[in-house]
Copies of this chain bind each other. A is one copy, B any other.
C-alpha cells in the first residue's frame, strides 16, 4: 500500500460517519476513533478503499463510526473475516479493530495465526482489561486479583495475557503500543502500522471509565518502550518479556515477505473440465 504524500484532500472529520457512538462519555475508545480517522486522513486513503473489520464489544462498534466500508462481524472472528477480504481484495486497506476480550479471549487463536501469516492487515486492539459491553467481567489482560466481577469473585487467579509477547512469539512483524491518553503518539503509530507491509499489531491502552475507573492511574504509569525497536526478534523477546506492559511506542518491526504470495494464472476452466473426459 502506498500513501500519497500531497496536500490532504480530506480532513480527519471527513472520515467520521454520522452514526453516534454508543460509548460512555469519557471512554478511551473515542480517542482511538479520532486517531484512526486522523491517520487515514494523513495517509490520504480514499474512504471507499478502506475497510474496517471488527468483532463484538464496545470497541468493536468502531467501524460504524467511520465513513468507510466496514463489517461488524462476530465476537472474536474479525481477523479471519479481514483475512478473507484482504486475500480477495488486495487493493483495499483493511484495518481490524476490537477489544481485549474479542481479540485475546475468544479470538486468541485467530490472533496467533494472523500474526504467523503476515498478511497485510493492521490490527488495533483497544485494551481496557475488561469486558465493557457485557458490563464488567475480567478479560485475559485483567490482573489476577481484580475481584470486581461476580463471575470471578476472588479474581481470576490467572496470569495476565501478554499481547506483545504472544504476538512476537507468533511471528508478528510489527508490534506497537499506544495509549488513548496520548492521541498524537497513537496517530503516529497507526500511520506507521498501516504503512507497514504485512501484519501490524497495535496494542492500545484504552480505559473503560465505567467498569475500570481505576485505569485513570494509567496516565502516570505509561512510559516509552525501553530503547529503540530493533528488528531482531531474539532481542525483542528479551525486552518484551522484561517490560511491564505499559511501554509505549513501536516495539518491534521487521521486514518479511507478505502473505499470500501470488501464483501466476495458468489455465482455463475448460482445460480443467477436460481432465475428466474418458
- Interface residues of chain A, those whose CB is within 8 Å of chain B, are 105-109, 112-113, 116-118, 140, 154, 157-162, 165-166, 168-171, 233-235, 237-238, 240-242, 256-257, 259-261, 263
A242 to B238 Cα, complex, angstroms:
11
- Out of B107, B108, B116, name the residue touching A158 (CB < 8 Å): B116
Can you give 10 contacting A-B residue pairs, CB < 8 Å? A108-B108, A108-B112, A113-B158, A116-B140, A118-B158, A161-B170, A162-B170, A168-B169, A234-B238, A237-B241
- How many copies the complex holds: the figure is 2
Top 10 A-B residue pairs of the complex, sorted by shortest distance between their CB atoms: A109-B109, A165-B169, A108-B109, A159-B171, A237-B241, A169-B169, A237-B237, A234-B241, A238-B238, A166-B169
Residues of A contacting B: mostly: helix
| Chain B hits for A237, CB < 8 A | 165, 237-238, 240-241
- Out of B116, B118, B162, B238, name the residue touching A161 (CB < 8 Å): B116
A168 to B118 Cα, complex, angstroms:
21
Q: How far apart are A143's CB and chain B's nearest CB, in angstroms?
A: 13
Q: How far apart are A258's CB and chain B's nearest CB, in angstroms?
A: 10
| Chain B hits for A261, CB < 8 A | 154, 157
| Chain B hits for A233, CB < 8 A | 241
